[in-house]
A and B are shown apart, each in its own frame.
Chain A
């Protein structure tokens, strides 16, 4: 019980003081969970970062679930995950109730016109960085460029086709091509 409370309050604190989320959280989680409490090792933390990058969901949630499970099993992972999302839940819930028509003030509306531009630029900046790090195999490039074109057309013509279906198609195509290649290779091996 004491450990559960400890998990809850540690992750509650991490959730409360990490603004914007994402990679900014990693050093704070490392400081608390690795150095102070020694709940996981430094190697665990590195592995976790890799896992978090290749699985969906915010890194903060991934870390909380992992550390919670290591310390106290399923119940530990639930308590830690609730702990880390509770602060933002409470804050946003009150904002959604009390802040309305904020955007009708001219100065604020203009500020948000500027911010809207910044959001587009920021996403573009992030994705250019992702492209420079991604694998440059021909198949990856083909998938990337074709999904770019399809998604761009969807945006322009406001087509009713969700990006999620696009993702599922891409995953399926890549898996099928992989299976076909594997099949050819194993047959080639048999002939030899």
Chain B
């Protein structure tokens, strides 16, 4: 049963994760929290582990969740499931439908998917950023340390884009954030 859930959950992740590593995190977060496999803290931890180990983040997360939920068999099934959609789609495009991506109906579907994914990523990212700073339990509580770190990190991203004309290296930002975390919290 858990094996089937692992397959289903990570197949979903594999089907809908467009773009680079960080843009797939909102979809992964959605699936792993719906099944109760990882909470936000563990997910952050695994993202940091994935950054410092080889391989795409979503493959790493699939292996990790599969292994912690159902041992080596779970690890194999979850990894297999997350890779399968990409494998099938690329194979179909190279073998059968060389011009599939130029087809107007497929374009119409993709043109619907892309803005929706962007909206989802934007919502999850802003929620994550706000949630780190403001916690609402009985009353509203603003975490000043987290606020300061957030502002510093945003400044780094912004200056990198303005001055170096490229986005900041994720590993660099994570290391800075870890140091700030140790210093400030």
Q: Could you tell me which A residues sit within 8 Å of B by CB distance?
A: 15-23, 50-51, 53-62, 65-66, 69-70, 74, 77, 81, 85, 87-89, 91-93, 95-97, 99, 102-103, 107, 110-127, 129-131, 134-135, 140-141, 143-152, 154-156, 160, 162-164, 166-167, 169-175, 178-179
A124 to B121, CA, bound (A): 8
Question: What 5 A-B pairs come out closest when comparing CB atoms?
Answer: A114-B181, A57-B86, A88-B55, A174-B112, A21-B56
Given contacts A21-B57, A85-B59, 19 further A-B contacts (CB under 8 A): A51-B93, A89-B79, A95-B49, A114-B179, A116-B132, A117-B129, A119-B48, A120-B129, A120-B150, A123-B124, A125-B167, A127-B125, A129-B167, A130-B19, A147-B120, A148-B123, A151-B124, A152-B126, A179-B108
B contact residues, total (Cβ < 8 Å): 102
Q: Is B137 an interface residue (CB 8 A)?
A: no
The contact string, 1 if C-beta is below 8 Å from chain A, for chain B 121-144, is 111111111011000000000000
Given known A57-B89, A110-B185, A120-B132, contact A143–B83 (CB-CB < 8 A): no
Considering only CB atoms, which chain B residue lies closest to A141 in the complex? B115
Residues of A within 8 A of B56 (CB): 21-22, 58-61, 88
In the assembled complex, the CB of A110 is this many whole angstroms from the nearest CB of chain B, namely: 4
Task: Tell me whether A125 and B157 are in contact (CB under 8 A).
Answer: yes
Could you give 6 example pairs across A and B, Cβ below 8 Å? A20-B57, A54-B101, A117-B149, A117-B150, A124-B129, A171-B116
Set B17, B31, B150: member contacting A121, Cβ < 8 A: B150
In the bound complex, what is the Cα–Cα distance between A146 and B45 (angstroms)? 31
> Residue among A22, A113, A150 with the most chain B CB within 10 A?
A113
Residues of A within 8 A of B123 (CB): 147-152, 154-155
- Is B3 part of the contact surface with A, judged by Cβ < 8 Å? no
Given A57-B89, A96-B68, A175-B112, the answer on whether A117 and B146 have CB atoms closer than 8 Å is yes
Neighbouring A residues of B154 by C-beta, 8 Å: 121
**Chain B residues with CB under 8 A of A147:** 115-116, 119-120, 123
Q: Are A20's CB and B118's CB within 8 A?
A: no
Least Cβ–Cβ distance between A8 and chain B, in angstroms = 15
Q: Is the CB of B109 within 8 A of A174?
A: yes
For A174, give the chain B residue with the smallest CB separation.
Answer: B112
A119 to B126 Cα, complex, angstroms: 11
Q: Give Cα A30 to B133, complex, Å.
A: 42
CB distance from A183 to the nearest CB of B (A): 13
Distance in Å from the Cβ of B89 to the closest Cβ of chain A?
5
Q: Is the CB of A91 within 8 A of B54?
A: yes
Given contacts A21-B55, A155-B127, contact A112 B157 (CB under 8 A): no
A144 with B94: CB separation less than 8 A: no
Interface residues of B in 154-172 (CB under 8 A from A): 154, 157, 161, 167-168, 170-171
B51: contacting residue among A19, A93, A110, CB under 8 A = A19
Instruction: Say which residue of B85, B104, B121 sits within 8 Å of A123 (CB atoms).
Output: B121
Per the bound structure, the CA–CA distance linking A60 and B18 in Å amounts to: 13
Tell me which residues from 91 to 115 in chain B have a Cβ below 8 Å from any Cβ of chain A. Answer: 91, 93-95, 101, 104-105, 108-115
With contacts A96-B64, A127-B23 taken as known, whether A85 is within 8 angstroms of B83 at the C-beta atoms is yes
Q: Which residues of A contact B171 (CB under 8 A)?
A: 19-20
Bound-state Cα–Cα, A62 to B92, Å: 12
Residues of B within 8 A of A23 (CB): 20
Answer whether A151 and B119 are a contact pair too, CB < 8 Å, given A121-B153, A126-B167. Answer: yes
**Residue pair A97, B67 in contact (C-beta under 8 Å):** yes
